Amino acid sequence: MLLVKRHPVERDSRDSLQIQLQELKQQLRARTRELHQKEEELQHLFYMISHELRTPISAIRGFTSILLEDGSELPAESADYLQRIHKNVDRLEKIVNDLGLLSRLNINENLFEVINLQELISDILIGSYDHIRSGQVTVSIQPDLPPAYGYREGLHHVFSNLILNAIKYRKRAQPVQIDIGCLQDEFFLKYYVRDNGIGIPSAYRKSIFDMFVRAGNVKKVNGSGLGLYIVRRIIQAHGGEIWVESRVGRGSTFYFTLAKVP
Ligand code: ADP
């Protein structure tokens, strides 16, 4: 029998590598705990803000509604101001609802399942029928769109947000065309939602995924500026990434990656 005697120097360096590895693992565990704690604090903050803002917002809505209902005696200018207050209250309400949603967003792998995306997107389109009918919208879905592995409610939110944005930020007087598909390599699925809308100026293509950033590419569209921030958080919770490629006046393509179904 051949006995290989390990050199003492070799053994020492293996031991010290083991120690380093243990230390790194400990650091990683501590960092993960810290991150979870920060995440919980942030979600609590979102909850508190949305909770505290609900009452004053509904009071403003209530009183302006009363004034508008008795509006016959109001000067035209005052009625106009009241209408504007109402519109801003709509936006505040959307922000509060989105912050509430963020406070409940708690995605972990125990919630993951295989999702038939054809069905999921069909549900979204049926649910958004009013938007689709009013905007002359065609949605083309790649026939063999691969299933995703993830949190159903989260991915429903992602696709619905991207589709509704494609309709919201459309070019006036032109039918909306939305294409949904997937490119894949060995490890990842890269889904895309492409539109023929107004496009996004290059200065905003990264920051639109941050909180409250609106690209200013259209004036009168209501929104919270939180939609894509929520979408990015959902994708990141799946271990994926999201980005956009766009040409002003030509349209935008939102891409996001998800790991393949294990
Ligand atoms: P909002 O509530 O303002 O729609 P989002 O976070 O969903 O917030 O989007 C951020 C900004 O990105 C929007 O205000 C808009 O300027 C721009 N945007 C998002 N989607 C599109 C799109 N499909 N085409 C053009 N611009 C878009």
Complete DSSP assignment for 183-246: EE-SSEEEEEEEE-SS---GGGTTGGGSTT----S-SS----S-HHHHHHHHHHHTT--EEEEE
Packed helices 76-104 and 8-69: angle between N→C axes, nearest 10 degrees:
150
243 close to 129: Cβ distance less than 8 angstroms: no
Q: State the pLDDT at residue 135.
A: 67
| pLDDT tens digits, 199-250 | 999 999 999 999 999 987 777 788 889 999 999 999 999 999 999 999 999 9
Give me the numbers of helices (H) and strands (E) for the chain, helices first please: 6, 7
CA–CA dist 200, 179 (Å, integer): 17
CA–CA dist 72, 145 (Å, integer): 56
CA–CA dist 65, 69 (Å, integer): 6
- Would you place residue 151 in the very low, low, confident or very high pLDDT band (cuts 50, 70, 90)? very high
- Would you place residue 6 in the very low, low, confident or very high pLDDT band (cuts 50, 70, 90)? low
Residue nearest to atom 11 of ligand 1 (CA): 214
| pLDDT tens digits, 170-196 | 998 899 999 999 999 888 999 999 999
Least confident of 8-12, 116-120, 134-138, 242-246: 8-12
Q: State the pLDDT at residue 127.
A: 86
CA of 162 to the centre of ligand 1 (A): 9
- The better pLDDT of the pair 117, 76 is held by 117
Residue nearest to atom 19 of ligand 1 (CA): 165
CA–CA dist 36, 27 (Å, integer): 14
Residue nearest to atom 21 of ligand 1 (CA): 165
- Would you place residue 259 in the very low, low, confident or very high pLDDT band (cuts 50, 70, 90)? very high
Domain annotation for the chain: domains and CATH numbers: 1-104 (1.10.287), 109-259 (3.30.565.10)
Residue 224 tokens read as 């919270």
CA of 148 to the centre of ligand 1 (A): 24
CA-wise closest residue to 98 among 157, 155, 58: 157
- Would you place residue 85 in the very low, low, confident or very high pLDDT band (cuts 50, 70, 90)? very high
34 close to 90: Cβ distance less than 8 angstroms: no
Which residues 6+ apart lie within 8 Å of 240 measured at CB? 188, 256, 257, 258, 259
CA of 230 to the centre of ligand 1 (A): 12
pTM (two decimals): 0.87
CA of 14 to the centre of ligand 1 (A): 53
Q: Which atom of ligand 1 is nearest to the CA of 226?
A: 6
Q: State the pLDDT at residue 8.
A: 66
CA of 215 to the centre of ligand 1 (A): 7
CA–CA dist 219, 39 (Å, integer): 33
Mean pLDDT of the chain: 91
CA–CA dist 175, 68 (Å, integer): 35
Residue whose CB lies within 8 A of the most ligand 1 atoms, among 176, 228, 232, 235, for a mutation test: 228
Which residue type sits at 178? I
Residue nearest to atom 17 of ligand 1 (CA): 215
| pLDDT tens digits, 46-60 | 999 999 999 999 999
- With a pLDDT cut of 90, the percent of the chain lying above it is 72
Which residues 6+ apart lie within 8 Å of 189 measured at CB? 146, 148, 182, 183, 257, 258, 259, 260
Q: State the pLDDT at residue 212.
A: 92
- Would you place residue 2 in the very low, low, confident or very high pLDDT band (cuts 50, 70, 90)? low
Helix (H) or strand (E) segment spanning residue 178: strand 176-184
